[in-house]
């Protein structure tokens, strides 16, 4: 492990500080959300379809909704990206006409990360070749829990090398990690190995994003930035459904990282149902556009 990692891993905040900071961050949330804040959240959403039942028709339909959004809601920003399995990237690439919407793909044996590294590398490269702008991978959680941190770091480096100048989001699967210190450690390993974003969860395990995990990860990002000057993004994913849920994560990012992070270049929320709920709050009436 690098000297930078060895230095930064010592800075994990104690539990009391995490709880106090989280309380302060959450209490900053307005009772009645501002429409501009809600628009910022909508514009940070990776509109996600990662279902076993997905097929070409589903993904064309989803992409069509994103394409039609601006013609229906001209004064509201569109989502940040469409996130799909790698085999559907080419479908989105062919059909997507909406401006400034990225194509994101999970890869690297999502959601388990349990296969040969050569297959993970190949899948990432194939997703990029098919048209993906961003790749979401999962750390090898089993190796991490077995204290093989060097292997975890090396895999991330290899996958970042495969992705090149495209965005690499690294999922630490915080719900499977036993404590705050391990969430902090996984975050530092990912950033030190080249992650452009660190992400809470796959949404495929019982515990997904939590405010506590988000706070710890954002503190890790802040420490990493303070030491290196490198801005790493944060993505919350899994179980974020309501506007109130999303605002909590927005406020955690604001509290820990400041206004510079409150845009889609550095803040994302992975969700499917959330987009309609945010849109309805903005419009003041129920919409099921997505």
List active site positions. Answer: 136, 199, 235
Torsion angles phi and psi, residue 183, rounded to 5: -65, -40
- Residue owning tokens 């429409």: 35
**Alpha-carbon span 278 to 270, nearest angstrom:** 13
Q: What is the DSSP letter of 12?
A: P
Question: If we measure between CA atoms, which residue out of 209, 227, 225, 213 comes closest to residue 261?
Answer: 225
Listed as own residue / partner, the contacts of 270-273 with beta carbons closer than 8 Å and 24 or more positions apart are 270/45, 270/46, 270/48, 270/83, 270/136, 270/199, 270/203, 270/235, 270/236, 270/237, 270/238, 270/240, 271/45, 271/46, 271/47, 271/48, 271/237, 271/240, 271/241, 271/246, 272/47, 272/48, 272/49, 273/241
Strand (E) or helix (H) holding 284 = none
Contact by Cβ (8 Å): 196, 233: yes
Report whether 249 contacts 269 (CB < 8 A).
yes
Contact 198, 184 (CB under 8 A): no
């Amino acid at each position: 492990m690098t000297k930078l990692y060895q230095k930064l891993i010592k800075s994990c905040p104690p539990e009391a500080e995490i709880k106090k900071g989280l309380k302060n961050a959450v209490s900053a949330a307005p009772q009645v959300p501002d429409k501009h804040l809600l628009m910022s959240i909508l514009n940070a959403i990776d509109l996600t379809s990662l279902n076993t039942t997905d097929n070409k028709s589903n993904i064309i339909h989803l992409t069509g909704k994103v394409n039609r959004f601006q013609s229906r809601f001209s004064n509201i920003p569109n989502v940040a990206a469409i996130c799909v399995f790698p085999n559907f990237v080419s479908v989105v690439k062919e059909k997507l006409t909406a401006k400034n919407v990225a194509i994101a793909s999970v890869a690297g044996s999502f959601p388990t990360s349990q296969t040969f590294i050569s297959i993970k590398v190949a899948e990432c490269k194939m997703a990029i070749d098919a048209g993906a702008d961003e790749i979401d991978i999962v750390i090898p959680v089993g190796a991490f829990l077995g204290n093989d941190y060097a292997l975890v770091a090396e895999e991330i480096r290899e996958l970042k090398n495969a992705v090149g100048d495209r965005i690499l989001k690294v999922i630490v699967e915080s719900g499977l990690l036993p404590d705050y210190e391990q969430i902090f450690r996984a975050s530092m390993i990912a950033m030190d190995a080249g992650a452009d974003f660190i992400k809470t969860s796959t949404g495929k395990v019982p515990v997904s994003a939590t405010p506590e995990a988000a706070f710890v990860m954002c503190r890790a990002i802040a420490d990493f930035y303070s030491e290196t000057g490198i801005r790493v993004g944060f993505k919350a994913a899994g179980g974020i459904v309501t506007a109130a849920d999303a605002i909590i994560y927005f406020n955690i990012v604001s509290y820990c990282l400041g206004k510079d992070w409150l845009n889609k270049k550095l803040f994302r929320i992975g969700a499917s149902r959330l987009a309609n709920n945010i849109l309805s709050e903005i419009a003041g009436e129920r919409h099921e556009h997505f």
